[in-house]
Amino acid sequence: MTEPIRLLLADDQALVRGALAALLSLEPDLTVVAEVGRGDEVVDAARRTRPDIALLDVEMPGLDGIGATAALRAARPECRVLVVTTFGRPGYLRRAMEAGADGFVVKDTPARQLADAVRRVHAGLRVVDPTLAAETLASGFSPLTARETEVLRVARSGGTVAALARMLHLSEGTVRNHLSAAIGKTGAHNRTEAVRIAEQNGWLLGD
């Protein structure tokens, strides 16, 4: 009899993680060997349990799913990665694939389709949510520079230009220039709208 496909699940929401584990464990050819709630626990768990595939959420404490993908591929390149996330944003898909993910699907994927995605990734295939793939091609790469991205990332929490400048160790004039450039590049009318547009496209996920 063929050995079941060994799975590691990483999601900071315990209920979601438990539901995924329960659904996937119903499949006779799949077995969940590890569950973690933080991105920085993924590599250690993989070393202990030797999964064939890691199913990773994007937004997790400690280390986001993109960083966890890269770390896992470096530490255990034989372990494939399927990103399973609520946040179906084009920028996230592009960055996940660049980090070494083998697949990217959203959490509302029906259980049968998710199990099939796991099997296809295990067989060496790439599996990507088709709607998101089309959106990614249409959206293109982020127009923001690394510094503009950093300024917008900090600006998410609000605060004055002076406060942002202190946090970033930049002059107020430099921060204003970066904000102005980011507003123009995103087609926004103000800082808040620029942050929202960049977030929706997945351009602000931390490195």
User: Cβ distance 54 to 82 under 8 Å?
Assistant: yes
Shared-domain flag, residues 29 and 103:
yes
Judgement on whether residues 135 and 151 belong to the same structural domain of the protein: no
158 pLDDT above the threshold of 60: yes
Q: What digits encode the pLDDT tens for the residues 100-143? A: 999 999 888 888 899 999 999 999 988 888 777 666 655 667 77
Does 51 share its domain with 121? yes
* Domain match, 108 and 195 both: no
Residue 175: strand, helix, or coil: helix
Decide if 160 is inside a domain: yes
Q: Is residue 97 part of a domain?
A: yes
Number of domains in the chain: 2
d(CA 96, CA 106): 13
Q: Which amino acid is at 10?
A: A
Q: Among 113, 139, 165, where does a domain finish?
A: 139
Residue 207 in any domain: the answer is: no
- DSSP assignment of 31-80 equals EEEEEESSGGGHHHHHHHH--SEEEE-SS-SSS-HHHHHHHHHHH-TTSE
Do 104 and 172 share a domain, yes or no? no
Structural contact between residues 63 and 92, judged by C-beta atoms closer than 8 angstroms: no
Residue 205 within any structural domain of the chain: no
Q: Whole-model pTM above 0.85?
A: no
Ramachandran class of 159: left when φ > 0, alpha when ψ lies in -120 to 50, beta otherwise: left
Q: What is the pLDDT of residues 32-85, one digit of tens each?
A: 999 999 999 999 999 999 999 999 999 899 999 999 999 999 999 999 999 998
Same domain, 115 and 168: no
